[in-house]
Amino acid sequence: MDDFTVSIDDLDFIGQDLARPECVLCTQNGAIFVADKRGGVTRIAPDGSQQSFLAEGREILPNGIALQPDGSFLIANLGDEGGIFHLYRDGRLEDFARTADGIDL
CA of residue 63 relative to chain centroid, distance: 7
User: Could you give the angle at the alpha carbon of 46 between the alpha carbons of 42 and 48, nearest 5°?
Assistant: 65
Alpha carbon of 4 to those of 1, 7, 9, 56: distances in Å? 5, 10, 15, 45
Residues of the chain with pLDDT under 70: none
In this prediction the pTM is 0.88
Confidence (pLDDT) at 13? 87
Confidence (pLDDT) at 95? 96
